[in-house]
A and B are shown apart, each in its own frame.
Chain A
């Protein structure tokens, strides 16, 4: 059982880097990440729409793949990040709230990307399978994963002390991440309508055409960069909220002191 550290005073909460610049969430590093995201994303869109050719069987609908696969990948990455940050915040005795903020920010972005993977996958399914949705192991387990993390965010949003929020959500995140292998291998375990993984399949063969593979790969890079940018900004946003609480606490203590003197 670990006790959380008292919240540090004032701007120290945001770390050394923040004290130097104005209070905000952008730094030169995040600006570079942001620009890189925009550049790679532009290339992916151009390549997905104009440079790559249609697939032999799927035709043009393969162009959805270049958004669908990276979105799903980033969602997994986000949920694993949440689990790792939560694990650290449980194990460490002091200054755990920073890791809790990273876990929360990462889960928020992960839920967005998982939702995008479901929407794009459903549109792609209508074009190729002829159906928006199918109660198939991969699709169903993915939906369960999505709901699990919606529940995680619901627990985080509840009015509780930051320490209680951190503890309970950390346990949830560590349990939820167990579902990810189930989702990924559901295609192999059960017979499924969803195709098996093309790149990360057990045989190690890559079943993709050269330029298509490159476009998909740059999609993964672009989406991952976007994820990093979003998580950094969102966790700093949460830090600002917590800072507001600390600064508020300082003035509230002062206010209570005058309250006592006046009486």
Chain B
């Protein structure tokens, strides 16, 4: 049900904002055109356009962009800071653990691999499974239940530290492949046999 809610939300935000922008544009154009066509309105236009050079611009017009820009700057600083610290977890494939520089067991890593068929186990609150990539495998323990579409035979990225040959994961994400297939019976069996071969 969460799925349906998210899907509906996505589409309504998309279509709704497009429609809103379109309507706002039409309304604004209509009122502008009306002002330009009426001669008495033009006098108002001329009046509006008579700020003497010495007069300061109204403070509201100066303040609003400044506030927006200020907010955006704060967000920008946050993003840069988080991106810098976040990318400290080094990205490794399973077969690179202990082989490639930076993928040794002394630091936090992000490991990419596919969940082995039949390896998924739920022990109390812990989830354990084996992930492999390019012939190498790595046991993973995760405290909790991974979200998303986590299942066997699916590529995942696990964040954590390798302790005694077991990856103690603190976070698991599903890496979706770029293949899309419609769901129907023959294809499911086909996909299951091919995904873990």
- Residue numbers of A with Cβ under 8 A of B are 22-26, 41, 45, 48-49, 52-65, 67-68, 71, 109, 112, 115-116, 119-120, 123-124, 126-131, 134-135, 140, 143-144, 147, 150-151, 154, 157-159, 190-191, 193, 195-198, 201, 207-209, 211-212, 226, 229-230, 233-234, 236-237, 240-241, 243-245, 247-249, 251-252, 255
Contacts and interface: CB of A to CB of B under 8 A. Distances in A.
A contact face: mostly helix, strand, loop, or mixed: helix
Contacts, number: 209
15 contacts: A54-B182, A54-B183, A55-B182, A112-B21, A123-B6, A128-B176, A129-B175, A130-B172, A151-B69, A193-B173, A197-B178, A198-B179, A233-B26, A248-B48, A248-B49
Contacts of A68: 10
Contacts of B76: 147
A57 to B, nearest CB: 6
Contacts of B63: none
B29 A56 contact: no
Contact of B178 (A120, A129, A207, A230): A207
Interface in B30-44: 30, 32-33, 35-37, 42-43
Most chain-A Cβ atoms within 10 A of its Cβ — which of B46, B154, B187?
Answer: B46
Interface residues of B, number: 71
B55 interface: no
B165 interface: no
A195 B183 contact: no
Nearest to B82: A135
A232 B50 CA distance: 31
Q: Which of B178, B180, B188 has the most CB of A within 10 A?
A: B180
B184 to A, nearest CB: 6
A64 B7 contact: yes
A211 B191 CA distance: 18
Nearest to A68: B10
B65 A127 contact: no
B57 interface: yes
Contacts of A243: 36
Nearest to A249: B49
B46 A123 contact: no
Contact of B112 (A191, A237, A251): A191
A174 B58 CA distance: 32
Given A57-B154, A198-B179, A211-B182, A140 B83 contact: yes
Interface string B80-103: 001100110001000000000000
Interface of B: 2-4, 6-7, 9-11, 13-15, 17-18, 21-22, 25-26, 28-30, 32-33, 35-37, 42-43, 45-46, 48-50, 57, 61-62, 65, 68-69, 72, 75-76, 79, 82-83, 86-87, 91, 112, 146-150, 154, 157, 172-184, 187-188, 191
Contacts of A255: 46, 50
Contact of A119 (B10, B35, B57): B10
A240 B45 CA distance: 13
Given A154-B69, A233-B25, A56 B173 contact: no
A22 B49 contact: no
Nearest to A18: B33
A48 B57 CA distance: 50
A159 B87 contact: no
Contacts of B50: 252, 255
Contact of B13 (A60, A119, A197, A241): A119
Nearest to A193: B175
A61 B91 contact: no
A248 B46 contact: yes
A128 B10 contact: no
A68 B13 CA distance: 11
A128 B151 CA distance: 11
A130 B173 contact: yes
Of B14, B68, B149, most A-chain CB atoms within 10 Å? B14
